[in-house]
Structures are given as structure tokens and as C-alpha cells.
Structure 1
Amino acid sequence: MAKYCLAKITFVALFVVGLLQFTIFSRPSTFVDTRTALIWQRCSAGMRDNMGDCAGVAGLYDWQQALGYCAQLKGQGWHLPDRNELISLVDWQKRTPAVPDALRANTKNNVYWTATSSEEEPNKAYYVSMFSGFSYPNKKIIQGFVRCVQSLP
């Protein structure tokens, strides 16, 4: 009986922690990952926040454009996430897209660029597939989606 109760309590605690991972802000269109202390754009680049929903069409960017898009955002420290930062959004229990429920509606089921270049092939950088959660290097001229990030102050 004691083992059953402990397992049940552990499950409930993990479930609650999962629900509390993200704090959604309506302005300025961001959410905070409380595990990593990172502030993320709510909508993919090219879309706009429309009262909590993302409206418009997400843009496709090559790697250089993705870096530039994040760098030009208003506010301090916005950048294209590195590989580890973007993988931190992946929920390995989910697919299509492989992100927590709180982010599913505003995440394209495709590849998102990271700022991490391939050491072996300088003309490639890593992306993260939000379909599967896996990360692979791809040519920097290929187009992908973008979600910018900054650290909590």
C-alpha cells in the first residue's frame, strides 16, 4: 500500500510540475519556461499575437535571416536559440508537434532554426524538428521557421 501511495503522489507531483512549466503573458506576446528561465516568443516569426492566438502566416527564413530577425527585435537580448535552448521546449511524449500542450497551437509542425553551427560542416547549422523533437544539421540556405528567445533579467 505504501509503494502505491508513493507512486501516486509522485505521478501527481510530476503532472502538476508539467502544467506549471510555462507562464503565458498576453503582453508583450511571450511565455516563460519556468524550468529554464527563458522567455520565448509566443508566435512563430512572421505571425502576430491576436488576443492570445497567433494570426497571420509564419515566415520561412534561411539561417542568416533567422539570426537577423531575432537580433532586430525590440527589447534586450533577443536571439535565435542555441540547440540546447530550443530542444528544451521538446516534450518527448508528444508528436505533431512535439511540444507541451500550452505551445501546440502556436508551433508549426516543421523545422525551427537554432543558432548552433555544425563544427564539422561550417555551411550547416542545426535545426530542431517540432514534428519529432530531433535535431540535425542542415545547409544554412535552407528555409525553416523561427521562434526567438531571451533570458530572464
Structure 2
Amino acid sequence: MNLHCRALVAGLLLSWGGPAMGSGESRYETDHDGMVKDTRQQLAWMRCSLGQRYHDGRCLGEAERFDWSAAQRRVRQEATPDCPWRMPRFHELSGLIQPPEERQGQTPMAIDLDAFPDTPVGWYWNEVSAGGHSQQDCFVDFSGEGRTRCNMGGQFYLRPVMSLEKAAPFCVAP
């Protein structure tokens, strides 16, 4: 198990016991070690983009950009049988885009910055796309009002996710 995953697991073992972020109706539960439990989608997200590390409510460092092959390799490096990190599906990643009425003054980003601090402006990779596109051609950017785009290539950010149902209990529960 790599050092990053060990730190996440150790934090989870301590508990998800912290309060939900944002308003009383928040869909996110956080721990102090860099993971967000998304109760609406039944997923656990890395709180920071890969390349950053979570510390004291912030994502420190610079998020890395990856080409498609490097993104796939990096997610495989993070994953273990107990903590099955993967690339998010398009609908999961785009499901993090917040409508303006939910942002509570957090503009210019269309993502909950309490749950996902220091999210960089730029496109994010996903595993499966929508609308009949191929597996690697639709992307999400959380800047401004939030946007999606298909059929482009390049180097993009990555925020791994795992299903709460498929993760080992110690990986996602108190």
C-alpha cells in the first residue's frame, strides 16, 4: 500500500466523525485526512487533486496534469484491493458541479470549495463519457459556472474516486 493511501486509511480509521461541510443540508462529509464522502452519489472522493496534499483545511502544492495514459497509470498506483480508487465516470464528476444557488458566495468556482479546497481551474479526466462519446473524450472544468466539453485532447487534472459499496469498511467508515 503506497504512503498516500496509508495516510488516507489511517485518517478514516479515526472516523468520519467531523461535521458535514457547508449548510446543514450538505451532501458532503469530510475527515481531516483528505477524503470527502459524497452521500448523494455514495462515493468517496480524494479531497485534493492528485499532486496536492491535504493539510489544515487546504490542498497544498500544485495539482499535476496528466495525459490519458499517465492518468490511468497514476490511478492504478493509488488503488488497492481495499481502497479501489478509480477515475470518476463523467456523470459522477459532472455531478460535483454546483448550481449558482448552492455556492453561497464561493464564485468563481462551481464546486464546493469547503469540501474540495484549492481546486485548480482546468479540465479533469473521467473514465466513461456521456452521450455516446468514446471513453476519454468528455471533460469537466469547475471554473466559473462549471462546464463540460467533449472531443479534445491534452493534459488534465485528476481527482480519483471510489464507490462506498466496493470499498473495504475500514477504508470508508469510522
| TM-score calculated relative to the size of structure 1 | 0.76
Q: Partners in 1 of 2:47 and 2:28 — Cα distance? A: 11
Equivalent in 136, 140, 153 of residue 128 of structure 1:
140
Deviation at 1:96, TM superposition (A): 2.4
Quick one: structure 1 residues 99 and 41, their matched pair in 2 at CA, closer, same or farther if it must change by over 3 Å? same
Equivalent in 28, 31, 45 of residue 25 of structure 1:
31
Deviation at 1:49, TM superposition (A): 1.7
SS at match of 1:139: coil
Q: Partners in 2 of 1:37 and 1:112 — Cα distance? A: 20
Deviation at 1:122, TM superposition (A): 4.6
Deviation at 1:120, TM superposition (A): 6.4
CA RMSD of aligned residues (A): 2.3
Q: Partners in 1 of 2:138 and 2:93 — Cα distance? A: 10
Alignment deviations for residues 73-114 of structure 1 (CA, whole Å, 9 cap, x no partner): 043321110100101111021442101242352311221111
Higher alpha-carbon deviation: 116-125 or 106-115: 116-125
Deviation at 1:24, TM superposition (A): 0.9
Deviation at 1:136, TM superposition (A): 1.2
| TM-score calculated relative to the size of structure 2 | 0.68
Q: Partners in 2 of 1:119 and 1:35 — Cα distance? A: 22
Q: Which has the larger radius of gyration?
A: 1
Count of aligned pairs between the two proteins: 135
Question: Gapped runs of 5+ residues in structure 1?
Answer: 1-14
Question: Residue 137 of structure 2 contacts residue 151 of structure 2 at CA under 8 Å; is this kept in 1?
Answer: yes
Q: Partners in 1 of 2:119 and 2:57 — Cα distance? A: 13
Higher strand share: 1
Alignment deviations for residues 97-153 of structure 1 (CA, whole Å, 9 cap, x no partner): 10124235231122111112577665951110111322111434x011110000113
Alignment deviations for residues 30-80 of structure 1 (CA, whole Å, 9 cap, x no partner): 110111110000111111122332111110111222222112104332111
Tell me whether 1:91 sits opposite 2:98 in the alignment: yes
Amino acid at match of 1:87: S
Q: Partners in 1 of 2:130 and 2:140 — Cα distance? A: 13
SS at match of 1:91: coil
Amino acid at match of 2:29: T
Question: Gapped runs of 5+ residues in structure 2?
Answer: 1-22, 166-174
Question: Residue 87 of structure 2 contacts residue 161 of structure 2 at CA under 8 Å; is this kept in 1?
Answer: yes
Match of 1:71 in 2: 76
Q: Partners in 1 of 2:86 and 2:46 — Cα distance? A: 11
